[in-house]
Amino acid sequence: MSKRTHDQVEEMEAGPSTVTSTSTSSLTPATNGSNDVNIGLLQLPQKRFYRQRAHANVFVDHELDYPKSPSEMDWSYHYPKYFTHPDQTEPSSIQNEKKVEWADVGCGFGGLLMALAPMFPDTLMLGMEIRMSVTKYVTDRIAATRQYQSMLPSNSTERENGEYQNVSVIRANAMKHIGNFFEKGQLSKIFFLFPDPHFKNRKQKARIITPGLLAEYAYVLKPGGILYTVTDVKDLHEWMALHLNNHPLFIPIPNEELTGDAILEAARTSTEEGKKVERNKGDKWVACFRRAENPED
């Protein structure tokens, strides 16, 4: 966490932090002049109010909310356009046929999701993050962006495809409960971007890619689905590549096949960690794998 200078703090106080673009004035909230209506417009959240330390113990029981099984998960809370709440009477046209297809495990401040959502408006994507503050940040960011999008006139240049209705975030421990959220073979892409390296020997069991967990990831990923890993720590990259290569259900995708892939480009550059690595002129290592078919027997 870098300490901001006094001037930077003042700048931030002046208006909401913009991520995508320009005009800040339209996002200032209605002041208390209008007392009758009391509508508050959402603003893009500022990271400094949502800081939390980077390491969270994965093995401990957090007070997490997870469904008992994938069929019991209420997705209408996350994707109101595509799922109706069981209590509501008016059915929507697209009723419960869509499923979440892409998962960003450890999504952090949501950079990848916000970049990919307008590029693939028909694909439902979910971020999973274990830290409470950071999840709230992404939630507020999505809510504010959705509201802003819905208020834009239809001919505005800022309008994005899908209005960010296809992206959401959930506070979850993906290592423990990924099977509770997704059915067998539901996902077609899964992202592990700049995960916690856990350098110490005794902590290496907490890494997000371990031989035991690969069986779970292979379970939720459909055959032919792609698993992306990007990291700036060489040791971690070698560890992840080694275990994924050794696992019979994952086939490495040579880097040549993926050059120019917009998704991979977004994965490398659009996250907060990715931008930080670029600022510090560090290296990024990429390893992508395809999920093989189950063996015959």
Partner 1 sequence: MSDLPFPPLILASSSSSVVSASGAQIILYNSQTSKIINSPQVENKLQQNGFIRHLAITNDGKIVASVGDDKNLKVWDVNDDELKLRSTRGLIKKASHISFANDNSIIVSDKVGDVYSYPLDPIPSDPSTSRPPMYSMVSDPTKNPDCTYLLGHVSVTTQHIITPDNKYIITADRDEHIRISRYPKAYVIERQLFGHDGFVSALHIPSSQSNILISGGGDPSIRIWDWTIGQLVNKVDIYSAILPHRKVRSYMRKNKWKGRTMKTEETNTAIQSRDQEEGEETFYSAPEGYVLPTGQGVCIKKIDSLQISGKTIILFFSEGASSIHSFILPSDPSSPTTVNTLPLPYPLLDFTALPNDNGKILLSLDTAWGVLKTNPGPGTDARQDVIQRDELSIEEKESFKDTLSILEVNEEGKFSFTPSNDISSIYSNLPKTDIKTLSNLNLYPLINLLPRWPGLEEDEGIDIPQINSNENGNIDISDDLISLAPTNLTTKTLGGTIKNYTIEELNSLNLKVLGRLKSNGVDVNEILKQRQKKSKEERKLKLLEINKKLKEEKEEIETQKEPEKKKQKQKQKQTKKVVILNEEDMSNS
Residues marked as binding? 106, 129-130, 173-174, 193, 271-273
- Asked if 96 is part of the footprint of partner 1 (rule: CB under 8 A), the reply reads no
Cite the annotated binding site for S-adenosyl-L-methionine by residue number: 106, 129-130, 173-174, 193, 271-273
Q: Is 196 a catalytic residue?
A: yes
Q: Residue 112, Cα to own-chain centre: how many angstroms?
A: 6
Q: Which is nearer to partner 1, 171 or 284 (CB)?
A: 171
Of positions 247, 268, 284, 291, contacts partner 1 by CB under 8 A: 247
What CA–CA distance (Å, rounded) separates 293 from 184? 13
- Asked if 147 is part of the footprint of partner 1 (rule: CB under 8 A), the reply reads yes
Q: Which is nearer to partner 1, 166 or 267 (CB)?
A: 166
Q: Which is nearer to partner 1, 75 or 264 (CB)?
A: 75
Q: Which range in 187-195, 212-220, 252-260, 277-285 contacts partner 1 by CB under 8 A? A: 212-220
Q: Which is nearer to partner 1, 277 or 289 (CB)?
A: 289
**How is residue 295 written in tokens?**
């063996």
For 18, 125, 136, 193, 274, the CA distances from 268, given in Å and listed in that order, are: 21, 17, 23, 8, 6
> Footprint of partner 1 on residues 21-80 (CB under 8 A)?
29-32, 38-46, 48-50, 52, 58-59, 61-63, 68-70, 77-78, 80
Catalytic residue among 7, 140, 196, 297: 196
- Burial of residue 67 (CB within 10 Å: 0-12, 13-18, 19+) is middle
**Residues in contact with 117: Cβ distance below 8 Å, sequence separation at least 6, in sequence order:** 125, 160, 162, 164, 166, 167
Residue 279 in 3-state DSSP?
A: helix
> Footprint of partner 1 on residues 167-186 (CB under 8 A)?
168, 175-177, 179-180, 184
Q: Using the CB atoms, write b or e for 226-263: b if 16+ within 10 Å.
A: bbbbbbbbeebbebbbebbeebebbeebeeeeeeeeeb
What CA–CA distance (Å, rounded) separates 252 from 241? 8
> Footprint of partner 1 on residues 251-290 (CB under 8 A)?
none
- Rounded to a whole number of angstroms, the minimum distance from the CB of residue 78 to partner 1 is 7
x/- track of binding to partner 1 for residues 117-136 (CB under 8 A): ---------------xx--x
- Rounded to a whole number of angstroms, the minimum distance from the CB of residue 285 to partner 1 is 19
What CA–CA distance (Å, rounded) separates 75 from 67? 11
- Positions marked active-site: 196
